[in-house]
Amino acid sequence: MVGSMFPGLSKFPDSEIPTWYSLEEPWKTFSHEKGGLAMQIEEKFGKGGVFIHPSAKIGDFVTIEGPCYIGPDAEIRNGALLRKGSWICEGALVGHSTEIKNSILLPNSKAPHFNYVGDSILGCRVNLGAGAKLSNVRNDRRSILINLEDGGIVDSGMVKIGAIIGDSSQLGCNVVTNPGCVISPCSMIPPNETVSGFYRPN
């Protein structure tokens, strides 16, 4: 799944990208067990550590909870909240009043205005419209099902998974994705939509 969803990763050094817990089930990287995002950051930078690359730009009144990684040329704008396990890759943007939690923003992805990104992966060059929210917990608190491209369904066994968004996709303003949503690369979702399951462009 990683290769088909995020082909743009081949242009970036492995040192800037988290190690996938599973190439076929990348959502397992959100696990708090060994191999999860928070543990990977702590193994590199110490328990509770926060790494900010010297070329990254950090605005005023930003809150960063460790462990957290902010890569080269990333930009974190005023009033953003980065909760533990946030991995912000090269050139990615976290905007004003956006909250990122235990998620990966791959190179040059953008969550620029009033977004919530929980336990999610934004592919290279993904853009979230203003107010887009990536929901990560079912209302009934049951484990999250992942719909695959071939029509199969996988029970993740996890209660917190947001969205997995393929490279170069764009979500319109106020789009909401339900937990476990998978959006194929180069998708364009109109404003105010609610997206579930596996989404592919028309």
Domain boundaries, the chain: 2-199
Residue 155 · residue 143 · CB < 8 Å? yes
Using alpha carbons, select from 151, 188, 181, 152 the residue that is nearest to residue 167.
Answer: 188
Note the pTM of the prediction, 2 decimals: 0.95
**Whole-number Cα distances in Å, 36 to 19, 49, 66, 84, 163:** 9, 15, 14, 11, 16
Q: What's the CATH number of domain 2-199, 3.20.10.10, 2.160.10.10, 2.40.170.20, 2.60.40.420? A: 2.160.10.10
Query: Would you please indicate which residues are annotated as catalytic (active-site) residues?
Result: 113
CA angle, corner 27, sides to 101 and 50, nearest 5?
Answer: 35
Tokens at residue 12, please?
């970036």
Backbone dihedral angles phi then psi of residue 43, each to the nearest 5 degrees: -65, -30
Backbone angles phi, psi at 7, to 5 degrees: -60, -25
The pLDDT tens digits of the residues spanning 74-115 come to 999 999 999 999 999 999 999 999 999 999 999 999 999 999
Dump pLDDT digits (tens) for 153-196: 999 999 999 999 999 999 999 999 999 999 999 999 999 999 99
105 class by beta-carbon count within 10 Å (0-12 exposed, 13-18 middle, 19+ buried): buried
